[in-house]
Structure 1
Amino acid sequence: MMKKIILALAFSGILLAGCGSGNATKDSSSAKEDTAKITAVGSTALQPLVDAAQESYTQDHPNVQISVQGGGSGTGLSQVESGSVEIGNSDVFAEEKDGVDASKLVDHKVAVVGFVPVVNKDVGVKDITKQQLIDIFTGKIKNWNELGGKDEAIQVVNRASGSGTRATFEKWGLDGKEPIQSQEQDSSGTVKKIVAQTPGAISYLALSYVDDSLQALQLDGVTANDKNITTNKWTIWSYEHMYTNGKPEKALADFLKYMTSDDIQSGPVKELGYLPITSMKVERSSDGTVK
């Protein structure tokens, strides 16, 4: 009888050990699946929002590492297409970028951003016409006194070629006109600092970068604000895209879903000067058609 009991206990122990080993393997596999490294590169206009989202997301998902870098929309699109990064952040549709095969990419629109011409606060001008804006950036107007401001030479600051901010501004602010040769900067943060510190300077920024260190210009009496952007009364705006090379899966898909969640859309999107996708009263396609 004693031998039977011992054998039964031993057999039970084997079964329990086997079950424990199976659970350990399952837990280990699950933990491995939750571990991911995601790199998002591109638009500096979108960078503050993605930075804010990744901070809160990784707090709840400690096994996921997310790196957010600038470089401009063109860089983001080319790197995600080549497979160098998981996400390409862009202010423009992939179809608008030369050399990018948009058919390989999946678009995830996460917000809307308005862009506005900004000047050094000492120029003495707050409202100009759209034609005057075009004349400034094409070199026809050279001094702020021609617009009722200070007798001060206009210093144009541009974003570098490949910037989605520049492409959006040229398309909707300059009606497609090519700006004059001037100093060019790779990031919105640098542009903001230069305009704030340089007498007579003018450039353009996403609203998420504008603060009291700069003067945002009105165009034809229209202010760049949420209400005017949602109705297209202020036309210099774009979607903020996060492109992936093919359909995202696992942690990448979950993070992109998080970008459009209520937590982000009603929190950092509004707090940082962007507009939620759902607030738009119009829709714009890649060919510029608005409906």
Structure 2
Amino acid sequence: MKMKKLLLFMMLTLMLAVVAACGNGSEDETGTGGSADGGTDSGEEEAPSEEAEGQLVLSGSSAIQPLMAAGAEEFMAANAGADIQVQAGGSGQGLSQVADGSVDIGNSDVFAEEKEEIPADELVDHRIAVVGMGPAVHPEVGIEDISSEDLIKVFTGEVTNWSELGGEDVEITLVNRPDSSGTRATFVNYALDGAEPAEGITEDSSNTVKQIISETEGAIGYLAFSYYNDDSVLPLQLDGVEQTDENVTTGDYAVWAYMHSYTNGEPEGLAKTFLDYMMSEDVQQVVVPELGYIPSTDMQVERDAEGNQTDVQ
């Protein structure tokens, strides 16, 4: 009987020791009850982050469409419940549709303030990226640099042969974008100082503009930097400044435009989540440059709707 009592006492003592050890295991070395990494244990598991879900419709500038489409594809791959449709139609259409509420985001390569019929004060501007652009010529015109003054003379028809500028004796062929083009508006404003180009060949597609320049002796047009991916056309230096991303970001080269995404009021829900994603480091530093755009976050200068350029504060 004494042996049984002794065994029972030993078992009870052992059980109490185990319970005490388990209780002490919830405390850290300081005895504060914190977790091993120094954090506080609330007794509840951290809730997993929720995936974004819902539908967004974007429309507008064809210049920014490839970037927004790529961003949407990556975003939807990580958020199965999100459906983002990216449509083109032009900057004017994107601005009109976001203003009347028929789309969630209106993409534009011009400021909303530049469109008189758009209630710009009701829209919120999100500058997703920047695109640089400039004069491009047939590689055998005989010059590599042009002054702003001479560029205006070329596009207004005052100079009609490259020999007048020290180049080859060949007539100049102008290749323009249509009046509705945001690329044309940017080039006219910042490369031609507002002077309207003379009549020439007019093409709606930058790919076609590039092809015509490359195949036409004496041709000159204007293209975004992303089209300078081979030797078929020659980007002219403007006033001795090369057409490079770095020169745009520092403000040394002035022919560039924002890729705007406008919302009607401050964005909420999925629209805000998606726009925040487009401004994330992964998109800005990987997707944006891969597609030939310049990250907005790299800009050392900024520009307002009146064209005033100032240093980023």
Contact 2:53 2:83 in 1 (8 A): no
Give RMSD over aligned pairs: 2.1
The structure 2 residue matched to 1:245, chosen from 264, 269, 275, is: 264
**Partner in structure 1 of residue 104 of structure 2:** 86
After TM superposition, list the pairs within 5 Å mapping 1:68-217 onto structure 2. Answer: 68-212=86-230, 213-217=232-236
**Partner in structure 1 of residue 251 of structure 2:** 232
**Partner in structure 2 of residue 49 of structure 1:** 67
Once residues 299 and 87 of structure 2 are traced to their aligned partners in structure 1, the CA distance between those partners, rounded to angstroms, is 27
Q: CA deviation at 1:264?
A: 0.5
CA deviation digits over 1:95-126, x for unaligned, max 9?
12222110221111111221111122232322
Once residues 239 and 263 of structure 2 are traced to their aligned partners in structure 1, the CA distance between those partners, rounded to angstroms, is 38
Once residues 231 and 219 of structure 1 are traced to their aligned partners in structure 2, the CA distance between those partners, rounded to angstroms, is 15
Q: CA deviation at 1:37?
A: 4.0
- Which AA in structure 2 matches 1:211? N
Q: CA deviation at 1:136?
A: 0.9
Once residues 303 and 90 of structure 2 are traced to their aligned partners in structure 1, the CA distance between those partners, rounded to angstroms, is 21
CA deviation digits over 1:6-41, x for unaligned, max 9?
xxxxxxxxxxxxxxxxxxxxxxxx99x823142332
Q: CA deviation at 1:133?
A: 0.7
Contact 2:98 2:105 in 1 (8 A): yes
SS in 1 for 2:72: helix
**Partner in structure 2 of residue 260 of structure 1:** 279
**Partner in structure 2 of residue 5 of structure 1:** none
SS in 2 for 1:107: strand
- Which AA in structure 2 matches 1:222? V
Once residues 206 and 86 of structure 2 are traced to their aligned partners in structure 1, the CA distance between those partners, rounded to angstroms, is 15
More helix by share: 1
Contact 1:136 1:142 in 2 (8 A): yes
Once residues 72 and 198 of structure 1 are traced to their aligned partners in structure 2, the CA distance between those partners, rounded to angstroms, is 28
The percentage of aligned residue pairs carrying the same residue is 50
Contact 1:115 1:237 in 2 (8 A): yes
- Which AA in structure 2 matches 1:116? G
Q: TM-score, normalised by structure 2?
A: 0.76
- Which AA in structure 2 matches 1:49? L
SS in 1 for 2:134: strand
The unaligned stretches of length 5 or more in structure 2 are 1-49
**Partner in structure 2 of residue 287 of structure 1:** 306
Contact 1:123 1:152 in 2 (8 A): yes
Contact 1:79 1:85 in 2 (8 A): yes
Once residues 272 and 190 of structure 1 are traced to their aligned partners in structure 2, the CA distance between those partners, rounded to angstroms, is 19
Q: TM-score, normalised by structure 1?
A: 0.81
- Which AA in structure 1 matches 2:58? T
- Which AA in structure 2 matches 1:161? D
The structure 1 residue matched to 2:241, chosen from 206, 215, 222, is: 222
Contact 1:72 1:186 in 2 (8 A): no
SS in 2 for 1:157: strand
Once residues 99 and 182 of structure 1 are traced to their aligned partners in structure 2, the CA distance between those partners, rounded to angstroms, is 29
Q: CA deviation at 1:242?
A: 0.7
Question: Structure 1 189/81 Cα, relative in aligned 2: closer, same or farther at 3 Å?
Answer: farther
- Which AA in structure 1 matches 2:195? K
- Which AA in structure 2 matches 1:76? G
Once residues 206 and 79 of structure 2 are traced to their aligned partners in structure 1, the CA distance between those partners, rounded to angstroms, is 30
CA deviation digits over 1:216-263, x for unaligned, max 9?
110121101122212211111122111122332322222111110111
- After TM superposition, the structure 1 stretch with the greater mean CA deviation from structure 2, 256-265 or 277-286, is 277-286
